[in-house]
Structure 1
């Protein structure tokens, strides 16, 4: 195992994650998920030995991180936090090139092959047109991609990213996640990234680390999703306290869309309603009526007449 967490209690003055036991190999992509405040970032900082463990051990390639120097940790792990300090007067190319200096004294000139690798990563991340743009003039999404580019050029066996897709639109989110998975599989990298969106796991991750109620659940994506109903239940995302869901019989995607629609529009108890998705139509019923709707707009208008 290249990264191993063994009987680790993780936190500050109090334990956020109790007795964590898990491991990852090179070539694997792992999604770290959990609600705000459960200890995801603290876990990442513990792996980097920025936050000491309360007890237990974390090892990289069978070496306890407590015994590694800052330089050795940087050689083993490239990291991108969701909030990073923006170097003044740096361009995209300058920032991405920084990843190379972990291997050289800073006053050295980069080699030709280093500059070619930097150029290739800039193209892969679809940042070519911003190559000479100052970081302060970038959008949040392109700035995030530039910081990810710096981590990629570091050429460390492990890459850890804290909420890497937060500021990205769908196109750029897919570019990043495809690039990370390609790196894992073609260059045998271990990729660990955190996100609030568990759906990313099904498409891009091999493993999940799920932090819940002070425990770390880990395993193959599909196993963890099926073991925790809330991860495949649309009620995961609650936007108001007064909404009570109706009965919904539909494929997961349509079920999630309907749940989202109803809780956004109705702070009511809708448990007396039943929604069935049949032949591309919604059949809505209760004890006294049965109606058919073709669109979500029709559904909203119908429910408004009932309540």
Structure 2
């Protein structure tokens, strides 16, 4: 166990997470997931020893983080926060090169192999055309990729990223997450990243750390998803309290689309309805009758007839 949290209470003046017991190994990708304000960033700052634990211990390579110097933490953990101070007069190459300077006095020039590594990372992140672009002229997405590049060049065994895909479109999300997984597997890195989207875990993560109601549940992705079915349900946005959803049997994407459609259009109890997609037809069961709909528009018209 390269990173281990043992019987830890995590928070500032009050406990946000109680009795946290979990770990990750080198070569693993972990997804830290949970709603805003539940303590994800506080947990990350605790691992970095920027916040003291209220109880318990955190170990890196069997050494308590309390006994690490700031430089030793930087050598062990590279981190990317969701908001970072942007040095506007730096180019993409300048920023990504910064990851190397924990190993040198700042006034030293990078070695040839360091510069080659920086160029390789820029290419991997699909930033080659922006290599000499000033950071202030980058889109939010490419700026985030540049900060992630800096963390990668730091060559720490652990990389922690707080909401790394927030400003990225689907193409760039996949580039980042494939790069992180490749690093974990080919260079034996421990990657921990936070996100609101459990679907990222299914494709890119080995373990989930799920924060819910003051506790942290951890384990293999598939186990945690099946144990906490609310992660699989299309309930990302609750826009009205009067809406009571029906039972929906369909692939996840169709399920989410139907859930959103019904919630937008109806403020009433629909629990007596059952929807089943038999592509391309929706079967709607209401009491003992079955109604067929070929489109979402037909579904809305039909549900409006039900009192």
- Give the TM-score range, shorter chain: over 0.9
Distance in 2 between the 1:230 and 1:164 partners? Answer: 23
Distance in 1 between the 2:264 and 2:121 partners? Answer: 41
Matched, 1:93 2:93: yes
> TM-score scaled by structure 2?
0.96
Tell me how many residue pairs correspond in the alignment. 307
1:232 positional shift: 1.6
Distance in 2 between the 1:303 and 1:101 partners? Answer: 62
2:123 partner SS = helix
Aligned to 1:79: 79
Distance in 2 between the 1:249 and 1:3 partners? Answer: 39
Unpaired segments of 5 or more residues in structure 1? none
Aligned to 1:6: 6
Distance in 2 between the 1:110 and 1:275 partners? Answer: 61
8 Å contact 1:208–1:219 — kept in the other structure?
yes
1:263 partner SS = helix
Deviation above 6 Å: which 4+ runs of structure 1? none
Distance in 2 between the 1:227 and 1:101 partners? Answer: 44
Matched, 1:167 2:167: yes
Which is worse superposed, 108-117 or 264-273?
A: 264-273
Distance in 2 between the 1:247 and 1:227 partners? Answer: 19
Aligned to 1:274: 274
Unpaired segments of 5 or more residues in structure 2? none
2:235 partner SS = helix
Which is worse superposed, 159-168 or 227-236?
A: 227-236
Aligned to 2:145: 145
1:56 partner SS = strand
Which is worse superposed, 77-86 or 241-250?
A: 241-250
8 Å contact 1:230–1:236 — kept in the other structure?
no
1:209 positional shift: 0.4
Aligned to 1:177: 177
1:248 positional shift: 1.7
Distance in 2 between the 1:20 and 1:157 partners? Answer: 22
Distance in 2 between the 1:89 and 1:305 partners? Answer: 62
Distance in 2 between the 1:176 and 1:297 partners? Answer: 37
1:112-151 mapped onto 2 (5 Å cutoff): 112-151=112-151
8 Å contact 1:96–1:153 — kept in the other structure?
yes
Aligned to 1:195: 195
8 Å contact 1:34–1:40 — kept in the other structure?
yes
> TM-score scaled by structure 1?
0.96
Distance in 2 between the 1:52 and 1:206 partners? Answer: 28
Distance in 2 between the 1:82 and 1:196 partners? Answer: 13
User: After superposition, what is the alpha-carbon deviation per residue over 1:115-164, rounded to whole angstroms, capped at 9, x for unaligned?
Assistant: 11111111111111111111111111111101000000000000000000
1:246-265 mapped onto 2 (5 Å cutoff): 246-265=246-265
Aligned to 1:108: 108
Matched, 1:239 2:239: yes
1:257 positional shift: 2.5
1:276 positional shift: 1.9
RMSD over aligned Cα atoms: 1.5
Distance in 2 between the 1:22 and 1:290 partners? Answer: 48
8 Å contact 1:118–1:153 — kept in the other structure?
yes
Aligned to 1:220: 220
Matched, 1:205 2:205: yes
Aligned to 1:24: 24
1:238 positional shift: 2.1
8 Å contact 1:201–1:221 — kept in the other structure?
yes
Distance in 2 between the 1:120 and 1:94 partners? Answer: 14
